[in-house]
Amino acid sequence: MCGIIGYLGGREATPILMESLKRLEYRGYDSAGVAVLELPKNGAATRTSVTKSEAKVDTLIEKLNANMPTGKLGIGHTRWATHGKPTYINAHPHTDCHGKIFVVHNGIIENFAELKAELKAEGHEFPSETDTEVVPHLIEKYYKGDFLAAVRAALNRIQGAYALAMFSSDDPELLVGARLNAPLVVGLGDDEYYVASDITAIIPYTKRVLVLGEGEVAAVTPLGAEVSTLDGVTVKPKIVHVDWDVTQAQKGGFAHFMLKEIHETDEAIANAMRGRLTDDGLVAFREFEASEEELKKLQEVVLLGMGTSLHAAMIGEHVLEDWVGIPARAMDASEFRYRRPTFGEHTLSVVITQSGETADTLVALHQARERGALTVAVTNVIASSAARDSDGAIYLHAGPEIGVASTKTFNSHLISLYLLAMRLAQANGRISLERRRELVEALRALPDQVRTLLGRDKEILALAHKYSQYRNFMYAGRGLGYPVALEGALKLKEISYVHAEGTSGGELKHGPIALLDEQFPVVAICTASSTKEKMVSNVHEIVARQAPVLALVSEGDSSLNGVATDIFEMPAVEEASSAILNTVMLQLFAYHVATKLGQDVDQPRNLAKSVTVE
């Protein structure tokens, strides 16, 4: 949600801000703006140029090209509305009463109403409806000639979540960044510096990144970046080297990022296994080195996620119970935070978050740690909040995912959870050498199987165009097919805006079947599994209600010939492998339905890539 970019260096700031905001569009937003501290000319006073758009970044860029601000210090923002509609006035950056302090903000300030009332009583005026606007006014209140000190004083009054980039026209060589419960990094270039909410924004400029911790402030000057706490205590900065290439954040000839990223699934799942899995099925995670003794003591696993990550957790639950033989629970992180946890020190809590910054999931992680659980984050972002706050991390190594709808990272999550299950089974002696080798063979075959499936894109395109006439869909599956159905339905509705819902095959006749008729097709997951025959029976029940059926079946299976309206044959593989292959097929199906309907699949309305607020 939202995007931040700040620049301080020897080059013109505006073109860098423009390019970076374009790279941040994928996060989801509804308005944009920049503020540039312009260089004084002919003895004139320093001034800040502010340009905003209540629409897309392209509109903002048109305005900037028409009147290009010149200056070496600036900040930019893409806003996803929380407080106040997406209007010009509500767009960031925001300023104080005297137009000297400029701020962009991601997150939510929970006590803004109280602060706003206090500041209004002191004479401050607030033209916008945003919570963010209290920040520059609060800094103004405490400003006594030391901008950094005023920032710290203001932030000590703020409750909630924030990532902030700020400057003052009185301090033309100081760019300040701060974070609490929202991501922010500082890019370290050659005599130039960047503050960004997302590494993707600054990949073309630098691969050396300083990652801010919770409640930390970065003071960036031409001499470098210094990090301190809100109390002014100096902190040793954490610097990481990013191994992404700029071309990974570009479309590479594909029509959309989403399509490109689906086609990167084979490489993504290979990367998730690389260096972690031996021929004998022994698994080791470099960033999660829990001892055999710790793992043997585990009595249950709790998997926490939201949206696509929750569906991955549900698949992980099945696999862990099957392979490891201990109880596992997949739980919605946003609801978990309001429950009274019943687990403790003999529990492994697995937090699943592509960005590593999902707000509700982070709260659930902290609750799990407070209960004494061993914690591990399964995430794509090195040094993200989830990774730093957990006892260990399992990184996806999937490369940047720009499309808002998660595709390749979902399957990377599944591979990571499969490996985790093998690691736990290895620790408790549950899984035989023969079975481990079978699983290794199945997992290592997956990249080639995914490539073969992607080569059948034209078949999937034809099916998608045929079914794009319908406005309602049901997805149904059993066992691992149930969360796959949920994920397939989620993909379709979030990028095509067509109503779709997922259900288990067993639950179908307990209510959802009432919706079915000739205008309500069902996508049925009927690939080989212990519950396949039950799903075949469910398809007969569906067909009896005149609903069209698109059935996914294993290669050579003729049990639904003449029954299902359309049949798509999938490779005959292990059920865990089938969950990944079926998902790839359904991702392509959703993509082609959405593009047939003319939707913007990379930036679906109302959605954000990283949900950093509750």
- For 279, other C-beta atoms within 10 Å of its C-beta total 10
Sole residue written with tokens 């309206």: 565
Beta strands in 244-327 (DSSP E): 300-305
Residue of 52, 207, 260, 609 with catalytic role: 609
Yes or no: say if 411 and 269 are a contact pair by the CB < 8 Å rule.
yes
> In this structure, what are the phi and psi dihedrals at residue 104, rounded to the nearest 5 degrees?
-120, 150
As a three-state string, the secondary structure of 389-419 is HCCEEEECCCCCCCCCCCCHHHHHHHHHHHH
The structure tokens listed for 134 are 């209290």
In whole angstroms, give the CA distance from residue 200 to residue 436.
Answer: 37
In whole angstroms, give the CA distance from residue 437 to residue 267.
Answer: 22
Sole residue written with tokens 């809590």: 349
The enclosing H or E element of 109 equals strand 101-109
In whole angstroms, give the CA distance from residue 519 to residue 525.
Answer: 19
Residue of 537, 569, 574 whose CA lies nearest to 551: 569
In whole angstroms, give the CA distance from residue 163 to residue 5.
Answer: 11
Q: Is 383 left (phi over 0), alpha (psi -120 to 50) or beta?
A: left
Residue of 206, 157, 202 whose CA lies nearest to 184: 202
In whole angstroms, give the CA distance from residue 243 to residue 246.
Answer: 10
Active site residue 609: yes
Q: Is 210 helix (H, G, I), strand (E, B) or coil?
A: strand
The structure tokens listed for 81 are 């509305």
DSSP-assigned states of every residue in 525-576: EESSSTTHHHHHHHHHHHHTTT--EEEEEETT--TTTTTSSEEEEE----HH
- Tell me, what DSSP letter sits at residue 512? G
Crossing angle of helices 457-467 and 575-596, rounded to 10°: 60
In whole angstroms, give the CA distance from residue 164 to residue 411.
Answer: 33
> In this structure, what are the phi and psi dihedrals at residue 188, rounded to the nearest 5 degrees?
-110, 105
Residue of 2, 116, 260, 493 with catalytic role: 2
Yes or no: say if 360 and 337 are a contact pair by the CB < 8 Å rule.
yes
The enclosing H or E element of 138 equals helix 134-142
Residue of 182, 38, 211, 39 whose CA lies nearest to 104: 182
The structure tokens listed for 74 are 């600036």
Residues recognised as catalytic: 2, 609
